[in-house]
Amino acid sequence: QVSVDDIQKRVAAHYGIRVAEMFSARRSRDVARPRQVAMYLTKMLTALSYPEIGRQFGGRDHTTVMHAVRAVEGFIANDSRIAEDVQLLKSLLAH
């Protein structure tokens, strides 16, 4: 089982942001996109519910997490760079 902490650290390192920015209210794309990817990976790789994931990301609402998961699914389908990022991060976290 992967921890949310591991996911947040790995995604932050991959995108060159601070882990603290995962919890911040900042919405600029350079922070929001990695945060959405981290939420998506948390949903895929842990047994946490949407509300639990929201709490792990600075007390966000469960609907925010649902939106992030749907958004990343869309990015994966339409943007090969994000698809590759997600695949790479998934494989790094899997072991």
CA distance 48 to 6: 14
Q: Give the H/E segment covering residue 13.
A: helix 4-15
What is the percent of the chain with per-residue pLDDT over 70, rounded to a whole number?
Answer: 99
Q: Which pLDDT belongs to residue 82? A: 95
Q: Does position 31 have pLDDT exceeding 90, yes or no? A: yes
Q: What is the mean pLDDT of the chain?
A: 96
Please state, as a whole number, how many other Cβ atoms lie within 10 Å of the Cβ of residue 86. 20
Q: Which residue has the higher pLDDT, 95 or 23?
A: 23
Pick from 20, 2, 12, 4: nearest CA to 85: 12
Q: Does position 95 have pLDDT exceeding 80, yes or no? A: no
Backbone torsions φ then ψ of 18, nearest 5 degrees: -85, 145
Q: Which pLDDT belongs to residue 11? A: 98
Q: Which pLDDT belongs to residue 94? A: 85
Structure tokens at 33: 């996109």
Mean pLDDT on 15-41:
95
Mean pLDDT on 79-95:
94
